[in-house]
Amino acid sequence: MWFFILAELLVFGVFFLAYAFARTRNVELFNASQLELDQLSGAINTVLLISSSYFVVRAVDQIRHGRSRSCTYWLLAAMTCGGAFLVLKLAEFGAKIEAGITMSTNTFFMFYLGLGFFHFMHVVLGMVILGAVTLKAWKGGYSAASYSGVETGAAYWHMVDLVWIILFPLIYVLH
């Protein structure tokens, strides 16, 4: 899993560099297009993901002490935040599509929609992984002695969060 996480970070890293490179070549276009983004929705989503990461940390802490039931609840809380992130993100994408903005509109929107959707799919995958871990935890499949599954799921989820923490300021805020 660590290898997989590093590979994912590498892909996003290359895209962030590409974004920076493309932006320096057309700063005005990027700044003008950036104003059309919904910064509030992005900020709420940031809070949601950071909270969910905290919940996942609590879940790992609980299972370390052998408390599977409480671990399950923390995981469910994390997934709720993840779900809310997806809903907000869909609303954002929907608004952009309604406004007639596509990946071909300009380079900025190519990055915004492309990277945003790519990250979106990672949140979906993260939810699937957390879902599987939650189910197993609910059935008492982990214990204080054996909880590497919870840790693995948490590590992946942190990666998804980490990418967003870079993506949000980079694309939504930095002028």
The binding site for another protein (CB under 8 A) comprises 3-4, 7, 10-11, 14-15, 18, 22, 103-104, 110-111, 114
Q: Which is nearer to another protein, 117 or 139 (CB)?
A: 117
Least separation, in Å, of the C-beta of 157 and another protein? 19
Least separation, in Å, of the C-beta of 14 and another protein? 5
Total residues belonging to the chain: 175
Q: Which is nearer to another protein, 3 or 98 (CB)?
A: 3
Quickly count: other Cβ atoms within 10 Å of residue 133's Cβ.
Answer: 29
Q: Assess contact for 142 and 62: CB atoms under 8 A.
A: no
Least separation, in Å, of the C-beta of 20 and another protein? 13
Residue 134 CA from chain centroid, whole number: 18
Least separation, in Å, of the C-beta of 103 and another protein? 5
Least separation, in Å, of the C-beta of 165 and another protein? 20
Q: Which is nearer to another protein, 12 or 164 (CB)?
A: 12
Q: Assess contact for 109 and 82: CB atoms under 8 A.
A: no
Q: Which is nearer to another protein, 22 or 29 (CB)?
A: 22
Burial classification of residue 75, based on how many CB atoms lie within 10 Å of its CB (0-12 exposed, 13-18 middle, 19 or more buried) = buried
What is the radius of gyration, based on Cα positions, of the chain?
18
b/e 76-114 (16+ beta carbons within 10 angstroms → b):
bbbbebbebbbebbeebbeebeeeebeeebbbbbebbbe
Q: Which is nearer to another protein, 79 or 113 (CB)?
A: 113
